[in-house]
Chains A and B, each alone.
Chain A
């Protein structure tokens, strides 16, 4: 008995069987919302990791034409990406392929769905119900997550099957945290929920202080202030007198210049924010700022204020406190901890740990 999964990218604002190529927020984001990194990784990457952890043997990523297959798929040996024209036809075709490979059941999930559901429990529930499809629901309504019987599903009216699974067919109720990313503001909500521990999502990197997560390669000036909870992404740079506060997240390759305040905001990857600015209750991507308070997207034409950057020059590290050394030191400690028994390592590594915290 095998278990597969089909992950749909760019499923659109509606349900997965709406097959709309439009993703709300595309004008703000440079790609699909599910590929936008939040706290170090994209939602779709986290979804695929959950599927793999649940024992899914093979995952197929269906990407509508005009969008790119995310680069992270290369690090999974059992994930394949496909560019498709018609999503409904592609899903049906893939179910047929799975059936031929003796994969009996498959998850179908929208890439923009972050659900902390027990996927194995969902699968067992579906198998016991002996239905063609089971759709997950929560308190807000049906979710874009199904389990289908590959052999039976390929012969039935596919779109009706997925729709009826949520309306009249078998449903599986999820009580855990669920976030369906529809708009860029949902990225902010997810980051805020994760940093304030309202969900199980944990940021990447190491927790250098309680609630302050810093990724490898991040440079934080010794006079910059980071107030927990906060997240600083890989190769990002926080300059002198900058303040990061109230569950703010700075993603990969960003630069927050001198004196700028980032409050209750998410700075998406490759964004440079100029000096002495106030970014409050906002999501920024390159030179675009989504103000959650004023509900407007503003495009900043002045590159001194905000601009997109492919890579940030490391600059002079002489005055900048680098977390790189601390990261490497703690990684070494973590490796040693894994090698030794819990009791012995606590005593023998205590001096190293206390030096690392200085």
Chain B
């Protein structure tokens, strides 16, 4: 496991099947229980993946999204890309060429978040804090 600021980067195992998927999930769940988990799964080592493996990925994404976080995939191996496409789940994930790109995408979203201390209307409408202006 690596981190890039608040982003956690995890490498998926070579075989993402029922057994290894279960082990991976038990390792992942504590990380997903934090507030707004931001997770990147590096799929470069994946050679085999079955329905249970896909289920694991979907479960992780569900857990992350429940807590207002997100899970992104990076560096898909050709095998992983082919299987995700076959199972129609490639469109559910954001996929990046490398783990760094995926981690940077979280920072880009973070920088677009409204600055603290400003009222809700100031960011979308470009208005100053009307209270202080008056």
Bound CA span A329–B88, Å: 40
Residues of A within 8 A of B86 (CB): 277-279, 289, 298, 300, 305
Residues of A within 8 A of B48 (CB): 298-299, 301
Residues of B within 8 A of A302 (CB): 50-51
- Residues A298 and B17 in contact, CB atoms below 8 Å apart: no
Which of B63-71, B74-82, B97-105 sits within the interface? B74-82
- Residues on B lying within 8 angstroms of A by beta carbon are 17, 48, 50-51, 78-79, 81-83, 85-88
Closest 6 pairs (CB-CB, A-B): A296-B78, A291-B82, A294-B78, A302-B50, A294-B82, A298-B82
From A277, A293, A296, A299, give the contact of B87 (CB < 8 A): A277
Residues of A within 8 A of B87 (CB): 277-278, 305
Write the nearest CB–CB distance from A329 to chain B, whole angstroms: 38
From A277, A298, A300, A301, give the contact of B88 (CB < 8 A): A277
Contacts A296-B78, A296-B79 given; indicate if A291 touches B51 (C-beta within 8 A).
Answer: no
* A259, closest chain B residue (CB): B88
Residues of A within 8 A of B79 (CB): 294, 296, 298
Q: Is A276 an interface residue (CB 8 A)?
A: yes
Q: Is A335 an interface residue (CB 8 A)?
A: no
Residues of A within 8 A of B82 (CB): 282, 289, 291, 293-294, 296, 298
- Chain A: residues with Cβ within 8 Å of the partner, total of 19
Write the nearest CB–CB distance from B129 to chain A, whole angstroms: 50
B interface secondary structure, majority: helix
- Residues B85 and A301 in contact, CB atoms below 8 Å apart: no
Bound CA span A193–B78, Å: 26
- Residues A276 and B83 in contact, CB atoms below 8 Å apart: no
Bound CA span A302–B51, Å: 7
**18 contacting pairs across A/B (C-beta < 8 A):** A277-B88, A278-B87, A280-B85, A282-B82, A289-B82, A291-B85, A294-B79, A294-B85, A300-B83, A300-B86, A301-B17, A301-B48, A301-B50, A302-B51, A304-B51, A305-B50, A305-B86, A305-B87
Within 8 A of B (CB), among A296-335: 296, 298-302, 304-305
Q: Is A295 an interface residue (CB 8 A)?
A: yes
Residues of B within 8 A of A276 (CB): 88
Write the nearest CB–CB distance from B33 to chain A, whole angstroms: 29
- Residues B81 and A305 in contact, CB atoms below 8 Å apart: no
Bound CA span A305–B53, Å: 13
- Residues A278 and B88 in contact, CB atoms below 8 Å apart: yes
Write the nearest CB–CB distance from B97 to chain A, whole angstroms: 14
Write the nearest CB–CB distance from B84 to chain A, whole angstroms: 10
Write the nearest CB–CB distance from A84 to chain B, whole angstroms: 38
Q: Which residue of A276, A279, A282, A291 has the most chain B CB atoms within 10 A of its CB atom?
A: A291
- Residues A295 and B78 in contact, CB atoms below 8 Å apart: yes
Write the nearest CB–CB distance from A182 to chain B, whole angstroms: 20
Residues of A within 8 A of B85 (CB): 278, 280, 291, 293-294
Write the nearest CB–CB distance from B89 to chain A, whole angstroms: 10
Residues of B within 8 A of A301 (CB): 17, 48, 50
Bound CA span A214–B48, Å: 35
- Residues A305 and B51 in contact, CB atoms below 8 Å apart: yes
Bound CA span A304–B54, Å: 14
